[in-house]
Amino acid sequence: MVQPIKTSSGLWCPPSWLGFLWGFAEGTLFFIIPDLVLSWASLARARGGIKILGAILAGAVVGGICMYTWALWRPESARSAVAAVPFVRTKMFEKVQEDYRAYGVSGIFYTLGTGIPYKVYAVLAPSVTAPVTFWLISIPARFERLALSWVVPTMLGLFLKRWIRNHRRLTAALWLGFWIVTYAIYWSTV
C-alpha cells in the first residue's frame, strides 16, 4: 500500500513512481498529459514537485525511445498506433514533418504551445536523427514543455501554503477546475 507523503500544505503528494509511469504512458500511447500529477505534486510540496518532474522526464524519454525504436523497425505500424490515440490528428504529423524539414531534430522544440504530443515527434524522428541524438534532445525538449506546470504551482504552493492548508478542498476543486477547462479548450481546438 502506498502511504501518502505528508506535506506542510496538508495536500497529499503523489509518489515518484506515479510520475514515471504517467510520463512513460503519455510518451507512448496515453493521451492525458502528466502535467496533472506534476502540478498537484508541485502545489503540495516543492521537493515533491522536483522529484515528480524528474520521474516524469525519465518516463517520458524512455517512452519516447520506445516509440522511436518501434518506428525504426515498423514505421507504418508505429505511426498508425499514434494516429489512433484520441485527439491526435493528421495535421499534427504534417506539422512535425515540416518542423523536422525546416529545423532538423531541433524541430522537437517547436512543440511548445502547439498541443502536438511528443509521441508524434518520436515516431517521425528516425528519418531525421540517430537514437542517441533523439534521446539527448528529448530531455531538454520535455523539460521545456513541462516547466510551466512545475514552476507556477511550485510558486503558488510556496506563497499560499497557509491558505492551501486551510482550504484543501477548495484548492483541489480549483486545481481540478483549471485542468477541466484546459482540456475542454484543448479538445475543442484540436
96-113 pLDDT, tens digit per residue, is 999 999 999 999 998 777
Instruction: Grade residue 6 by pLDDT with cuts at 50, 70 and 90.
Output: low
The pLDDT of residue 110: 82
Instruction: Grade residue 14 by pLDDT with cuts at 50, 70 and 90.
Output: confident
Domain ranges in the chain are 16-184
Task: Say yes or no to pLDDT of 81 above 90.
Answer: yes
Mean pLDDT (whole number) for 109-137: 92
pTM, whole model, 2 decimals? 0.89
As given in the structure block, the three cell numbers for residue 173 are: 476543486
The pLDDT of residue 114: 82
As given in the structure block, the three cell numbers for residue 4 are: 501518502
155-184 pLDDT, tens digit per residue, is 999 999 999 989 999 999 999 999 999 888
